[in-house]
Structure 1
Amino acid sequence: MANVFRRLADSDRNVRASLYFGNLDPEVTELLMYELFIQFAPVRSLNMPKDRVLKTHQGFGFVEFKSVEDADYVLEILRGIRLYGKIVKLKKSDTPKITSSTKDQSIGVINQELISNNYIDIGAQLFINNLNSLIDEQFLKETFSKFGTLIRNPTIARDNNTGESKGYGFLTFDDFQTSDSVIEKMNGAILMNSKIHVSYAFKQDPITGQYTNVRHGDKTERLLAENAKSNKVIGSKSKKKSKVHKPKLKK
């Protein structure tokens, strides 16, 4: 079992088969979390980052299962579970890897799954920087979904060892009008006592995988988006209001 608690190398991890768990009571231990998860699926690894000084866990951790199906099943079956009176937060651990060699951190994310197959990613992706360490993905979702439709769950770049926020993340909307509005209204705004910076993220070459010096939101992307919209390629079923047919009353 000791091997279960060792941190796997990034190259040996299956992020899609992993879950993040948080909001843990100080009494919760790695062994307790292991015994909880193993009841529902085989556990490949489990890690709860600890404070380097106090040697106590920081209220969150990561668990990897044998398969993606196992992770999905555990996420569903344990949703809302309480430990020591606190609801354990569970979500897919899909934070993309960001390398430190990148000159500008405002790079795009291409491996993040769409929330729904009804959406098409036109490139309305934003880079948000200088985030307070207390801000998490759920906070970003609740804050920015008010502007329009997020087609991918917000992501925050996190330290691979501690899980702590690196202070920047990404938002992807379904149209450029919304992302333009977010930049106009939120660039320079204060979130949790921190002045955030919002801009378009850099594009990634789909062939080479290398990041370019061109940001999303350029004329080419906007033109393609307009053409797709005029040809009714872009659209979400969730946006289409269903017509309510009222039955005719017989006189």
Structure 2
Amino acid sequence: MIQQGTKTFRNISLALFAGGFVTFALLYSLQPLMPEISNAFSITPAHASLTLSVTTIAMALTMLFIGSMSDSVGRRFIMTAALVISSVIALLSAFSPGYTELLLLRILQGVALAGLPAIAMTYLSEEIEPRSLGYAMGLYISGNSIGGMAGRFISGVVTDWFSWRAAVGFIGILGLCAAVIFWLVIPPSRHFVKAAPGFKNPIPLLWSQCRNPRLLCLYGLGFLLMGGFVTLFNYIGFELTGEPYHLSQSIVGSLFVVYLMGTVSSTWM
């Protein structure tokens, strides 16, 4: 098992940090751009918010099953493929001719993005010794928060200078760069045991968890807290870029520096 302080541990930490960064940068990069998307396609704010909602839903549903796929295909391959495919889809999204095409691409991106967060914790628990595991997971989660913040902030700044399409394309390029870093430094799985392909195991496991009242309370807390949090930032851009504030996309994107608190606290916890 890999111990904290070794070169292999640093490589794993860097790879998972980069992976978490690009996953949440790609997922949330459109959030501060919703006013621009609404104007570009002449749609309502509610329709513009679907560009994030459909991606999140697709990602959440795919995460329920992609873990079983990794049991037979391998953790490293699926995580790397997820980062590359989702980054390429981001580049394609920058050229979306219409709103419907953008939504379809975002759904596909959600499916692809599920490949890393569904497997990362399992990969870490298989490869890292128990005493170092908490710190490694904290670093991975901090990459998530920094990626979510950076994706929103960078997309806002690039939109001010160029356009929302340029911002989405730029985040896609960043994603490909992070995917290359991930592929180069992530160590191969040494304690992975390949299983027979199939999706039978997740169904009874999911059903058993849905019958556990304590777990349902945890799921409900996550749903309510993240639901309120994401919804607030979905629509606050419409208010701040309009009357009476007229703030720029860069300023609206900078609101997400609050994510830095999550970066520090997740590693500390």
The TM-score, its normalising length taken from structure 2, stands at 0.25
- The structure in which a higher percent of residues are strand is 1
The structure having more radius of gyration, on CA atoms, is 1
Say which structure, 1 or 2, has more relative contact order (CA 8 Å, 6+ apart): 2
- The structure in which a higher percent of residues are helix is 2
